[in-house]
Amino acid sequence: MFSAKIYTVFLSAILMSATAAAQMSFEETPKRLFKPVSMFAKAEDNLKDEFKEKGLEWPVKYMFVRAFKLERQLEVWVKDDYAEAFQLFKVYKVCATSGTYGPKRKEGDKQIPEGFYYINEFKPNSNYHLALGLNYPNASDAVLSDPNKPGGDIYIHGNCVTIGCLPITDSLIEQVYHMASVVKEQGQDFIPVHIFPMRYDDPESVEQFTTRTKNKPETQQFAKSIKDAYEYFEDTHQLPAVFVTDKGDYLISGNPYAPKVPRSKLVSANKPADPYAAWELEEKVDKVPFYKEGNAALQKWLFLLSQELSAKLPPNTSMSLQVEFIVDKEGTTQMATVVRGGDPKTNALIKQRFETELKWQPALKDGKPVNTKLRQNLNLAAPEDL
């Protein structure tokens, strides 16, 4: 018998009616925001073609979203009838991440949440192109997160930057946003979103997760507490019921009579080797790296580099890049890699300049220098062709 204080977070039997009150602001949004407009015309044409190729019915009736931090993937599952099993439509790349493994617990921790959520906001005029809001903090987070400042504003959005959200590229968010608006119009008020630290049945992912969290038993325990929902869906392609106890713990309940489906391995066994595998990197440090000549000098260096690179662009063009690099224990810049944007010639120049010119006071943890990884955005804009 569950406690009287247990709240139903996701219950498959009442998906269509459980959230009317919880989504009041969403329901009050003008209906026109969910109808196809000019910016979605191309997205809808592409979706129709892709659905047809995969033997799926358009317009989509039901949608489920599942995300994995380690693999940086966001899946969209669909079905045409409530009683059917979900079918995988597409796996999208999450193009930027922040934080580390484990749930979000307070404002400013940069964590992408883990657990069970639903889409509670459509934001067509987002600064990040388009955005689908998640109901963080949910019933579990309300118990376990910081009671005063748990944080919020967690979205699936475009623009490929994040401090706790799930970003994909602008063209891809147009697809996901449009599908969500279509199922909303078809009657699905409750669009569930499950976020996991990794794919639990991929040995390489499990090994990496275990290694990176070896000194974080609470993170490993939380990952274990939500694993049953992953396993049930993998076995049935149906959503389990998810409850929250008065202590904030998740309880997963599946239908024991649900038909089993064959499992398919979505992560390629030949996926590229992790370029940072040989580095012992610290994700959370007591003191972040500090540019030896001071922050003002660093900003000037970045500005001058951006100006130099902008001058090489064709007139009236712009480019947004993101550079990932390691600051090692000696304060040297290593492994500088443009992970978003650019072209081979520009990226090679950026790598050379970062690795030869940027010198740091290294990051500290427990008073000792450590290796850590940083990211830096560069926005380039060519001068107008006058």
pLDDT at 284: 87
Ranges of beta strands (E only) in the chain are 7-10, 62-68, 73-79, 87-93, 115-123, 131-134, 155-157, 166-167, 192-196, 241-244, 250-253, 290-291, 318-327, 333-340, 360-361, 363-365, 368-370, 372-381
Q: In what helix (H) or strand (E) does residue 171 lie, and over which residues does it extend?
A: helix 170-186
What range does the domain containing 55 cover? 7-253
Q: Tell me the pLDDT tens digit for each residue of 199-229.
A: 999 999 999 999 999 999 999 999 999 999 9
CB 348 within 8 A of CB 375: no
CB count within 10 Å of CB 351 equals 17
Residue 386 lies in a domain: no
CATH code for the domain of 107:
2.40.440.10
pLDDT at 272: 54
If asked whether residues 135 and 34 sit together in one domain, one would say yes
Q: What is the largest CA-CA distance in the chain?
A: 75
pLDDT at 339: 86
Residue 264 lies in a domain: no
If asked whether residues 31 and 90 sit together in one domain, one would say yes
If asked whether residues 85 and 206 sit together in one domain, one would say yes
Choosing from 229, 253, 277, the residue where a domain stops is 253
Matching residue, tokens 């325990």: 221
If asked whether residues 236 and 300 sit together in one domain, one would say no
If asked whether residues 14 and 126 sit together in one domain, one would say yes
Q: Tell me the pLDDT tens digit for each residue of 159-196.
A: 888 888 999 988 899 999 999 999 999 999 999 999 99
CATH code for the domain of 323:
3.30.2420
Tokens at 233, concatenated: 């869906």
Q: Tell me the pLDDT tens digit for each residue of 286-302.
A: 999 999 999 999 999 99
pLDDT at 85: 96
pLDDT at 25: 36
Residue 2 pLDDT exceeds 60: no
**pLDDT exceeding 90 applies to what percent of the chain?**
68
If asked whether residues 85 and 187 sit together in one domain, one would say yes
Domains identified in the chain, total number: 2
Give the integer Cα–Cα distance in Å for 126 and 104. 22
